């Protein structure tokens, strides 16, 4: 476990630079989850560290495999200085602990609902999990372990989350793309949905 997390942190540092802050949260019955903050020019990136220590298990499986199974960390990118986005640290730790606490497998296309704003005044209370491999490359581990995927989180307004449930993740991402939506804007409005 410690070896995996050391490799994950090294990959994050290689891709994003040195973190300028880190916070740790431990939930009852779970491993410790850290959230690292990376600041670069006008953007702030938050990355979880600890979610990938154990593989995510299929909630229908009788026994969880301690070696095989998907592994991931979460990455959120927002524009700096527009909102008090550091309050998202605790909520990111909650999301990262959800595979251990709730037995869910976090995968691209999934919606994760927090039930509260991501930060004070945020128009978002849920996120869309995007495909890995862009900002931070997947981290290959020795077989038979699955690679660690660094999954970007895209904040969604309640209207976007409801629309996504009906039309799917791909349709919402196309809507954002066609509208030129700045998904890093921590104060952005909902994309036009019809």
In terms of pTM, does the model score above 0.85?
yes
Q: Over range 21-29, report the average pLDDT.
A: 84
Listed in order, strand segments (DSSP E) in the chain are 21-25, 33-40, 43-49, 71-79, 111-113, 126-129, 148-156
Q: How confident is the model at residue 134 (pLDDT cuts 50, 70, 90)?
A: confident
pLDDT digits (tens, 9 = 90+) for 47-90: 999 999 999 987 666 676 778 889 999 999 999 989 999 999 99
Tokens representing 45 are 């990136």
pLDDT digits (tens, 9 = 90+) for 154-175: 999 999 999 999 999 999 999 9
Q: Over range 115-128, report the average pLDDT.
A: 94
Which residues partner with 37 through β-bridges?
21, 46
């Amino acid at each position: 476990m410690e070896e995996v997390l050391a490799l994950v942190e090294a990959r994050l540092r290689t891709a994003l630079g040195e973190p300028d802050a880190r916070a740790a949260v431990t939930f009852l019955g779970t491993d410790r989850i850290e959230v690292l903050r990376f600041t670069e020019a006008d953007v702030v990136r938050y990355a979880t560290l600890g979610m990938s220590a154990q593989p995510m298990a299929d909630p229908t499986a009788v026994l969880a495999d301690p070696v095989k199974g998907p592994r991931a960390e979460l990455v959120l990118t927002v524009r700096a200085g527009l909102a008090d986005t550091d309050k998202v640290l605790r909520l990111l730790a909650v999301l990262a602990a959800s595979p251990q606490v709730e037995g869910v497998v976090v995968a691209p296309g999934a919606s994760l609902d927090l039930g509260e704003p991501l930060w004070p005044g945020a128009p978002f209370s849920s996120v869309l999990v995007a495909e890995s491999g862009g900002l931070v490359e997947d981290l290959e581990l020795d077989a038979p372990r699955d690679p660690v995927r660094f999954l970007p989180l895209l904040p969604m307004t309640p209207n976007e989350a409801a629309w996504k449930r009906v039309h799917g993740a791909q349709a919402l991402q196309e809507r954002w793309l066609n509208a030129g939506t700045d998904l890093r804007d921590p104060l952005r409005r909902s994309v036009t949905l019809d």
